[in-house]
Structure 1
C-alpha cells in the first residue's frame, strides 16, 4: 500500500478551480423558472401580504381604541378627583364675613328706628 501523499499548493488550487468551474457549469445548465409558477408565487405572496397588512391595521386600530378609552377613563377620573377636591376645599373654606353696612345705610336704619319709636309714643 502506497503512503499518503500530501497535496501541494498547485494541486489544491487546481482542485478548487475545478470545483468552482463545476458549480458554475451546474448553475448555467439549470433550467429557467416557469413564468406561470413565478406568477403564481408572486400572487400568493401578494395575497399573504394583503392579509397580513389587514391584520396589522386591525391590531393597530384596536390598540388606538384601547388607548383612547384609557385616556378617556383617565380624564374622567381626573375630573372626578378635581370635583371632589373642590368640594372638600369648599367645606374647609370659612364663610364669607357678613357685609358691613355703609354709613348711609346705618343712618337710614337709625332714622327708621327713631321714627318708629316716635310713632309708638304718639299713638
Structure 2
C-alpha cells in the first residue's frame, strides 16, 4: 500500500476537488450565475469540502484531522442540499443534479470511512 505524504494523495481530496470543479462549471450557467448569493454559497460549500480535508491533514494529529473531516462532511451535505435548490430553481437539470448527488454520496461514505480508520488507529500527534 502506498504511503500518503500529502493531502493531494488522498482519494477523498481528489473527489472533493472534482465536486468543486463540477459545481463551479454548473454555477457558470447563465441563469444560475445571475443569482450571485446562491452561486457564491454553493461554490463556498464545495470549496469547503476540499479545503477542510487539506487543512485537517496538515494539522498536528488525528483528533484535529477527524474534526476537520466532520466539517468537510457537513459542507458536503450542504452542497447536496443546495443541489436540490438549484434543481428547483431550474438552474441545473435532473442529470446534472444526479451527478452532484452521486459525488456527494460517494464522498460522504469515504469521509466517514477515513474518520473510522483514524479513530481506530490510535492517537497520533498532539491534538
Rg larger in structure: 1
User: Is the structural similarity TM-score above 0.5?
Assistant: no
TM-score tier, shorter chain, comes to: under 0.3
Q: Which structure would you say has the larger RCO, counting Cα contacts within 8 Å and 6 or more residues apart?
A: 2
TM-score, structure 1 normalization = 0.24
TM-score, structure 2 normalization = 0.24
